[in-house]
Amino acid sequence: VRQPYTLGCSVHENLEPTLDWVQRRLDLDDDAISKMVRTYPQIMHLSIESNLVIKIEWLQQRLDMDDGGDDDDYFYSDGEDDDDVSLQRVSKMIQRFPGILGLSIDDNLEPKMEWIQNRFSMTEEALSEFILKFPSILSCNVEKNLSPTLDFYIDALGGDEQRALSLLQSNPTLFAYSLDKRLQPRLEEAREVGVAVDASVLRRMGQNSDDLWYAFLIRNRL
């Protein structure tokens, strides 16, 4: 049992109301809410009033996705009229990474968004697009993951910080790959066989399977 605490919860008093609210608020079909529960079962234990309402409202406002509704609408809306673009975007973000609902605004979300926005000199709109592409970046640690990974790409591009920032802003999923197990070893392999490392090669380093990566090195070795 992934969440043994669930066994002690009332279906009618706890689980069903929470899932029903999430489904209606984010305009999810049955398959989407089922997938969300499988991916992030902890969602069943989040408070509607003290977590979900606040978190969805904050995400809309922080990422400039505010739908302009009254505060009370966030709790009492039946979801039937929530077809505006802003809520659709928040819904898509949460479906891609439902764990975002369990992250602290003050200790996690805001500091990480601030680091990303400042480090990349992003506008609010650019930050919104960036997070929407790869919302699970908000689960990464700045000091242990994000900052060292950015430094890796800067070094791999010969110290060209602007090229590295541009690459990562366009491809935020490149933050997802392990420095020790994938990126650094593949960079060394590319350099050993004389492959000129540019943005396209760095994308391959992260995205290619082992078979595709080594086939690429064989084709392009000097």
* Residue type for position 86: S
Q: Which tops the pLDDT comparison, 92 or 70?
A: 92
Is the Cβ–Cβ distance between 75 and 49 less than 8 Å?
yes
pLDDT, residue 81, reads 45
Q: Which tops the pLDDT comparison, 14 or 151?
A: 151
Mean pLDDT of 75-84: 45
Burial class (CB in 10 A: 0-12, 13-18, 19+), 47: exposed
Is the Cβ–Cβ distance between 63 and 36 less than 8 Å?
no
pTM: 0.81
Give every CB contact of residue 166 below 8 A, 6+ residues apart in sequence: 199
Distance of CA 59 to the CA centre of its chain: 13
Please give the C-alpha separations between residue 6 and each of 33, 37, 50, 71, 197, in angstroms, as whole numbers.
17, 12, 19, 30, 50
pLDDT, residue 114, reads 97
Mean pLDDT of 175-187: 97
pLDDT, residue 189, reads 97
Buried b (16+ CB within 10 A) or exposed e, 25-35: bbebeeeebee
pLDDT, residue 65, reads 62
pLDDT, residue 63, reads 85
Whether the per-residue pLDDT at 15 is higher than 80: the answer is yes
Q: What is the distance between the alpha carbons of residues 91 and 65, in angstroms, rounded to a whole number?
A: 11
Phi then psi dihedrals of residue 199, to 5 deg = -60, -40
Structural Rg of the chain based on CA atoms? 21
Whether the per-residue pLDDT at 192 is higher than 90: the answer is yes
pLDDT, residue 212, reads 97
Q: What is the pLDDT of residues 91-131, one digit of tens each?
A: 999 999 999 999 999 999 999 999 999 999 999 999 999 99
Phi then psi dihedrals of residue 23, to 5 deg = -60, -45
Q: What is the distance between the alpha carbons of residues 19 and 33, in angstroms, rounded to a whole number?
A: 8
pLDDT, residue 22, reads 96
Whether the per-residue pLDDT at 183 is higher than 90: the answer is yes
Mean pLDDT of 65-93: 59
Is the Cβ–Cβ distance between 103 and 109 less than 8 Å?
yes
Mean pLDDT, the chain, integer: 88
CA atoms within 13 A on the CB side of 220: 17
Give every CB contact of residue 71 below 8 A, 6+ residues apart in sequence: 57
